[in-house]
Structure 1
Amino acid sequence: MPTIRPSSDLRNKYNEISEFCHKYSEPVYITKNGQGDLAVMSIATYERLVGKFELNKLLDEGMEAVKSCRVVPAESVFEKIENGLSK
């Protein structure tokens, strides 16, 4: 169940909201005039979320490369690396 707080709590109870976000690694949804307005979360939670988006993007790119036959066998990649290191 999401945690929903009015915008006045962001001003008046900032420390309480901050502690919740850090303790539970979940966002707090802030309302303004009864409507959803913001989502507040810790930096650690935000970075984890962005990391998941980046990973999914890379996985999608890899799957698209496989579908369009833009792949190289791992053995040949390792061979090129080894040859480059031995120069």
Structure 2
Amino acid sequence: MPVIRPIRELQNTTEISHFAKTLNEPIFITKNGRNDLVLMNDAVYERIMAQNEMYRKLAAAEAEVADGAELLDGMEVLKELRGKYGK
């Protein structure tokens, strides 16, 4: 469930900072009843950025396949990696 707070709560920086650090999701800040800002702790930001990077890579891979790129057998790739790096 999204966390929504009015912009006036940003006046208490210590409290909002603590609140943001304890949540694992973005905080939506409203002004005059409308979305205005999104506040999040560093861990949430890093997680979202990592997800975005993964989605970009997946989209690029799907585009390559759509363009006719050669598909590799996953088990064969893992076998080669294990042979190269052990385990």
TM-score by length of 1: 0.71
AA paired with 1:60?
A
AA paired with 1:5?
R
- Cα distance between partner residues in 1 of 2:3 and 2:24: 12
Identity of aligned residues (%): 37
Report the counterpart of residue 26 of structure 2 in structure 1. Answer: 27
2:27–2:40 contact (8 Å) kept in structure 1: yes
Q: Which ranges in structure 2 are unaligned for 5 or more consecutive residues?
A: none
Report the counterpart of residue 10 of structure 2 in structure 1. Answer: 10
- The alignment yields a C-alpha RMSD, in angstroms, of 2.1
AA paired with 2:28?
Y
Report how many aligned residue pairs link the two structures. Answer: 76
Are 1:42 and 2:41 matched, yes or no?
yes
- Cα distance between partner residues in 2 of 1:8 and 1:57: 36
User: Shift of the alpha carbon at 1:72?
Assistant: 6.7
2:24–2:44 contact (8 Å) kept in structure 1: yes
AA paired with 1:38?
L
Report runs of 4+ in structure 1 exceeding 4 Å deviation: 72-75
User: Shift of the alpha carbon at 1:55?
Assistant: 0.7
1:29–1:36 contact (8 Å) kept in structure 2: yes
For residue 26 of structure 1, give the secondary structure of its aligned residue in structure 2. Answer: coil
User: Shift of the alpha carbon at 1:65?
Assistant: 0.8
TM-score by length of 2: 0.71
- Cα distance between partner residues in 1 of 2:69 and 2:48: 29
